Amino acid sequence: MKLKILDIYTDYLISSFGFTTATGLSKMLNNKLSHDKITRFLSSKEFKSKDLWEIAKPIIRRIESDDGVIAIDDSIEEKPYSQENELICWHYDHSKARSLKGINFITAAYISTDFTIPISYDLVRKTETKLNKEGKKIRHSSLSKNDRYCNILKSCVQNNLAFKYVLNDVWYGSADNMNFVKKSLKKDFIMPLKKNRKVALSETDKKNGRYVKIEKLCFEGNISKKVYLERLDFPVILIKQIFKNGDGSSGVLYLVTSDLDLTYDQITTIYKKRWKVEEFHKSIKNNASLAKSPTKIPLTQANHFFASMCAYIKLEGISINRNINHFAIKESIYIVALKNAYQKLKKLMTKDLRYNFDFA
């Protein structure tokens, strides 16, 4: 019964353009499913990452390959007007350089040529408190984001998921994470580095502690350099990628990989897939009603998040089958709903409420 309600609830999340409530779903179904049953579904047990894997697994098993890619990223769904709790609280957003109130989540997506499927996630819960520099009590999580990063990847390996590369942004580009991926998981990574990160240009330089900032290195054309990072006992390939921003300005990205056989073009091509996880986060927020639930407690808020992830997987399946992107799917649903609303309004209107203006 729970899977049946989940199926209906995820359809509702895709179809809805306003707040998603148990009462709203019940009314949409002409009360064939009571709002009490929907409420009990959202509050009976907490769905977790392992439940998402069971939803995603049939698709993944059809598309996975030994050269597969897992992209990990985190995001914040702002909930500025919701009551603060361990799940909806203040988190620092590096992209905006300020703290935001909302749900902070870390996701892993399996990326193939056609599909971007979420396979694991972790919701950052701040269940502890500590004093900040001003002596004010603030919420605190017992696990760091890097701990969560490693736990997510462990679960992917435990699920016997076939993949070769791990991709992430600069905030996860620590030596600890590189060591974990390469040595503990026996996988390869492609990660960006900050421009002030230091590298040694040879094993001798590394042994003698001679390091140089990567921004000081000379890169002529699309070349790659074998370098050595502090706290890594294996070499990595470093490249410098110059790209154009949307405003026409130029940007620089320094990428390292543990796969010494990759060329410059292969590194940039593979790492480009990471941006699909950004598209995934954008779609789940805009097309799967992630922020549209007025649920009040962490349990129901977490379960609504899980359902939104499942709704995204449905959207991805429709997108592939129909060759149409998520936003176009949502717009097509909206146009049909708008036409039906207009016809309903015409039936409700009486003739005396019509305006007889002549604009000729």
Strands 137-140 and 128-131: antiparallel
Q: Is position 22 within any domain?
A: no
Range of the domain at 85: 44-167+275-349
Transcribe 255-309 into DSSP letters: EEES-TT--HHHHHHHHHTTHHHHHHHHHHHHHS-TT-----SHHHHHHHHHHHH
Q: Is position 137 within any domain?
A: yes
pLDDT of residue 62: 92
pLDDT of residue 51: 97
pLDDT of residue 76: 95
The Cα–Cα gap between 177 and 189 comes to 10
Question: In angstroms, what is the C-alpha Rg of the chain?
Answer: 24
pLDDT of residue 228: 97
> Do 174 and 159 belong to one domain?
no
> Do 178 and 288 belong to one domain?
no
> Do 99 and 199 belong to one domain?
no
> Do 244 and 198 belong to one domain?
yes
Where is the domain boundary, 233, 249, 273?
Answer: 273
Strands 188-193 and 165-168: parallel
Write out the H or E segment, with its range, that includes residue 146.
Answer: helix 145-158
Token pair in block for residue 311: 């709704």
> Do 102 and 238 belong to one domain?
no
> Do 135 and 50 belong to one domain?
yes
> Do 292 and 163 belong to one domain?
yes
Q: Which of 88, 69, 42 is nearest to 308 (CA)?
A: 42
pLDDT of residue 359: 59
Model confidence, pTM: 0.92
Long-range contacts of the stretch 325-334 (C-beta < 8 A, 24+): 326/283, 326/287, 327/283, 327/286, 327/287, 329/14, 329/287, 330/14, 330/286, 330/287, 333/14, 333/15, 334/17
> Do 159 and 301 belong to one domain?
yes
> Do 48 and 111 belong to one domain?
yes
> Do 153 and 185 belong to one domain?
no
Helix or strand or coil: residue 132? coil
> Do 283 and 162 belong to one domain?
yes
Count structural domains, the chain. 2
Mean pLDDT by groups of 10 residues along the chain of 360 residues: 87 95 94 93 93 96 93 94 93 87 96 92 92 83 95 97 96 97 97 96 95 92 93 97 78 95 96 95 96 92 97 96 96 96 91 71
Q: Is position 39 within any domain?
A: no
The Cα–Cα gap between 340 and 227 comes to 62
Where is the domain boundary, 231, 254, 273?
Answer: 273
Q: Is position 243 within any domain?
A: yes
The answer to whether 160 and 57 are in contact (CB under 8 A) is no
